[in-house]
Chain A
Amino acid sequence: MKALVWHGTADIRYDTVPDPEIEQPRDAIVKVTSCAICGSDLHLYDHFMPGMEKGDIMGHEFMGEVVDVGAEAKSALKVGDRIVVPFTIWCGECEQCRRGNYSVCERSNRNKAMADKLFGHTTAGLFGYTHLTGGYPGGQAEYVRVPFADRTHVKIPDGLTDEQVLFLGDIFPTGWQAAAQCDIQPTDTVAIWGCGPVGQMTIRSAILLGAKQVIAIDRVPERLSMAKAGGAITINFEEESVVERLNELTGGKGPEKCIDAVGMEAHATATLDSMYDRAKQALALESDRAHVLREMMYVCRPAGTLSIPGVYGGLIDKVPFGVSMNKGLTWRMGQTHVNRWTDDLLRRIQEGQIDPSFVITHTVGLADGPGMYQTFRDKRDGCIKVVLKP
């Protein structure tokens, strides 16, 4: 079959690879009908996340048709079912899964020992996302093996297009959880850094969950225009001071809830700290750039909440922890517990409360994927979200 394969920094190729097969009784094989490129994939493309190997198949946002089912998954799935696959693989039986903490499932990471060593304790297995989280071949491919498939799926009813439901596998629940874990009150101002696909979903979620005011921060004009369409007041961080504007919009008190939808590749602004990060990262002395985190800690209202869906891989530096401690901030973060939210969100899509396909700007064949990685990363051609059709 054909798949997008990682070969090194900024080197993803459309290769021929062996077809996947059922390996475990709880597996299923899915023929992919649509998949997408995620901001998280860019961290691999730019090689800021450790743990990739040449030959790894990319992709963790995908959906398709079930074409083969292992013996123990037959109770939940049958050939012909149309499913969206969440990027977090979960067993449904371990202590974490029983609590709904699917992204830290204790059993789905087949490289548990490696993760135990690096993180102290393992997290869940993920598709196409380094050997640290299981090294599972990803979904930017014609076929995928889905482990623990009896749990790891969202069944899609008839009458919905791929475009409407594809993002149930990652960015829609990710934006939703980012907002939900802020426990938004009707009096809250929610500030969201980053207007990429995750930021866009977060903006809509914060509105639907009833925030008084949603403020979105980025520097890419077309992303800001989409943020505004979703109900956000926008700040272009290259043209205005983020801290000043946020204070202005909150009567000098700062937003109650701050969300980092940027992650470890925060862009350089003219500020001293982001120059410092760029320099240290370039010299391999630090792995992640923490500019957005620092800004959130500083501007957040005391006793407020920081929610961090943005992905970090390792070490950050010069974090004003005293600011956070003295202000009594609450930190919420993590990979998304996708299936915790999908029943509710699927219903909202069906009822027409939201149509997540608004974020798609480019749809191309899988073969054009490598070029699209670059277009998406460099934010060329108005690119916000790429859907690939194998």
Chain B
Amino acid sequence: MAYYRRNSSADRMARGLGWFSIGLGVAELVAARRLARWMGMEEQAGLIRTYGAREVATGVGLLAMGDARPWMWGRIAGDALDLATLASAHHDGNPRRENVATALGAVAARTALDVLCTAMLHREEATAWTPPRDYSDRSGLPRPPAAMRGAAKDAPILADMRTPAILRFQPA
């Protein structure tokens, strides 16, 4: 089983990327049409909105879940989708071609960050893993638990901690 280390530098970076995802996703959701127009991709406003929702989901996942790695892989897959979509709009027929190039550059930089962060998270796990300890000899009891069952039935427990008789389960 894998444990993540909270507050390690890789983990902090992953959470930072999570916030970034939420911000970007919200922007894509709210300004999908404007973004599409800016890149000469008017028909694709709906797609951008879908990508925005995807960003928000991975962002929340990164902030929310214990282990950041599956979400980071999700981001990398998302980066690939973004790159492919942008590449398809980067052709001579698009008058806003330069804006698309800018966007491509930004997504490429972000992909590099994502890959770096994921690699760091994996490296951390590789160094952290040791086989679990076996504490099966640590009972704390002088005899096997089955033989100790009820040994303290005489314990003084005041009435305020007792279940009122009417609410008690009857012995089966």
A interface residues (Cβ-Cβ under 8 A, vs B): 9-10, 46, 99-100, 177, 180-181, 183, 185-188, 200, 204-205, 207-211, 219-223, 225-226, 228-231, 238, 256, 267-268, 275-276, 278-279, 282-283, 301, 303, 305, 328, 330, 332, 340, 344, 348, 352-359, 361, 377-382, 384
Contacts and interface: CB of A to CB of B under 8 A. Distances in A.
Given A211-B149, A225-B134, 10 more contacts: A180-B157, A200-B140, A207-B141, A207-B148, A210-B149, A231-B139, A275-B60, A354-B140, A355-B140, A382-B130
Contact of A185 (B1, B138, B169): B169
B142 interface: yes
9 contacts: A207-B149, A220-B132, A226-B136, A229-B137, A256-B169, A278-B66, A359-B140, A379-B3, A382-B133
Given A231-B145, A282-B63, A380-B128, A209 B152 contact: yes
Contacts of A229: 135-140
A100 B157 CA distance: 11
Please tell me the size bucket of the interface on B.
35 or more
B115 interface: no
A327 to B, nearest CB: 12
Interface in B134-170: 134-142, 144-146, 148-153, 155-158, 160-163, 167-169
A358 B138 contact: yes
B161 A228 contact: no
Contacts of A226: 135-136, 138
A177 B152 CA distance: 13
A185 B168 contact: yes
Contacts of A358: 138-140
Contacts of A384: 135
Most chain B Cβ neighbours within 10 Å, of A211, A238, A267, A378: A378
A359 B64 contact: no
B1 A238 contact: yes
A230 B158 contact: no
